[in-house]
Structure 1
């Protein structure tokens, strides 16, 4: 048999969602032991605890409680803490998700100890080297032993970078977030904070530093939302950083329904019942597609190019006019029969490739 003990490293909201179906799958296999480590990158109840509780993710054996600080400080402290854990646990493999500082710290800690690294969501590229996430993706991919890709496009990215000359196994597993959607869709529940039964609304999220830390961009986004609010309801679960910046820049949100961050089951309900998704989140771009909702992307580039190339999403940046044009004039593709990201069996593919075990 292959790998028997896996240390899974998570730290941010998207990683909790991705980890949930795979950790559930592993827990049902007697042959495999999984140790979950939470770095604490997202550390408050609204951005962390609720996901472990409602999605029934096994409790982390370790929580490093490393939240806040600059990128270098955070990554360095994580690296130090993770190294101690790996020395104690002696895993056969470290599994990391996505593109956060927790992802890179986990991969570095493992590789420096000659422990195999598996990267779920490998090969994605925005081609914007100003994004910390892009740096994390590239470096994590380069030192990983297993590269699990959502589709053929990430594989092509890796091939352009010379993956054929690395000692790495590239596998098209499909998107593990599709596994999560299929597993948890039935548990969707309306947020208690807001009554939306039968109402038409736009679901909006804004959290990326490129938007929140730039007053010109953030004001332009909210200018478009304010314009839209005169025509339709705008529902925006507010990331803590975004809320702070709204206050700092004195942005008028009077006509926009701001609600507290929501758990995954609430977000699934909001996705299923909205008219359109407007977001700078990578995960929500795909989830909008899975639920048959058009998506307006508040970024200048995206890793999920299939959705833009096929008109399921519109890439508009932080331009007010472009946001409004996409909302009211763009002809989105309404044929959701395409299957870009697999059949929802990424968990079984990943476990089989790592361990040789089939359920």
Structure 2
């Protein structure tokens, strides 16, 4: 049986590794081992998500915590290298685009552990984003690149990546959604959190939006304006909560009537999202989920590494100043679900099949 290390560090990572953990566990060929780097250390950002997705506690918790990019990346490398040398895996799977993704991929490359990047090939073209550096560098050192959509394949091909390193497996975030859909539908309603039945859902966490007091103030002004017409529910990321409090903007949101709550587990968050009239976000995952669900999405970024959500879905890139008008236009337009190829809840099965093929193992009867 081949050991597979699955690296998780931040909230979206857990939603991506959970379906893969289950699919690997069903196969007789692989032993999945979950490793939590501790980059997100708030329980609502990690532990509760694993419980929602019925994944056991990580075998290894590196406890890295926050810090500057270089320090955090280096600490993850040091800690994971010790684990990988003591318990050498047959495969290493890193996901997404956070610092831990690149750090563990570099360890895998240097130790000659076959390394797979799940959600490879995504590009925003903006090297000012730390995540873009992580994506490009991880794809450069990984041995196998699992892409979610055709644009990922095209980006890698344009960078000269050989076709035999690329396998399109689809959007694994949607595996988690379909796996828990019944429990999402049964979760407490938004009304029990003080909004509804018609409301907008807000998520903000990127430094480009929340670390500048001036930009954050413009965002809060926009949210206050929107609140007058569409009640807003705002699960506040710990980073954002600290920035709002430091600038005194939390009180402005309260005066406007925006409903601020603490971060919630995955299933409850998805209950909020599935019932929302629109989402206001800077999250990559929410862009995909709203496209899949046919919910209007206003993304507070200058670019996106998920252009398929704009080309075929319901996503719009906005600024703080354009947000209120763009939201009004989005709500007036008809939105329809967009289901690109392999956005079907079975990406994890394709991942396991690819590992079986690449490892030369015989597929078990229950692996599919």
What is the TM-score of this pair, normalised by structure 1? 0.94
1:300 aligns to 2:298 (yes or no): no
Q: 1:17 touches 1:177 (CA, 8 Å); kept in 2? A: yes
1:179 aligns to 2:178 (yes or no): no
Distance 2:351 2:9 in 1: 20
Instruction: Name 1:335's counterpart in structure 2.
Output: 336
Q: Deviations over 1:110-164 (max 9, x none)?
A: 1100111100000001111111111110000001111000111011111111113
SS of the residue aligned with 1:329? helix
Distance 1:37 1:193 in 2: 36
Instruction: Name 2:360's counterpart in structure 1.
Output: none
Q: 1:296 touches 1:326 (CA, 8 Å); kept in 2? A: yes
Distance 2:42 2:193 in 1: 25
Distance 2:290 2:157 in 1: 29
* CA 296–337 in structure 1, closer or farther in 2 if over 3 Å, else same: closer
Q: 1:201 touches 1:235 (CA, 8 Å); kept in 2? A: yes
SS of the residue aligned with 1:288? helix
* CA 18–224 in structure 1, closer or farther in 2 if over 3 Å, else same: same
Distance 1:138 1:223 in 2: 35
Which residues of structure 2 form unaligned runs of 5+?
358-362
SS of the residue aligned with 1:36? strand
Q: Deviations over 1:269-321 (max 9, x none)?
A: 0011110011000001111122221100011111111121235111003x32x
Distance 1:233 1:190 in 2: 18
Which residues of structure 1 form unaligned runs of 5+?
none
Query: How far is 1:64 from its partner?
Result: 0.6
Distance 1:332 1:103 in 2: 38
1:355 aligns to 2:351 (yes or no): no
SS of the residue aligned with 1:41? coil
Distance 2:182 2:258 in 1: 29
Query: How far is 1:190 from its partner?
Result: 2.3
Distance 2:44 2:351 in 1: 29
Runs of 4+ residues deviating >6 angstroms: none
Query: How far is 1:353 from its partner?
Result: 0.7
Query: How far is 1:231 from its partner?
Result: 1.3
Distance 2:30 2:313 in 1: 41
1:92 aligns to 2:84 (yes or no): no
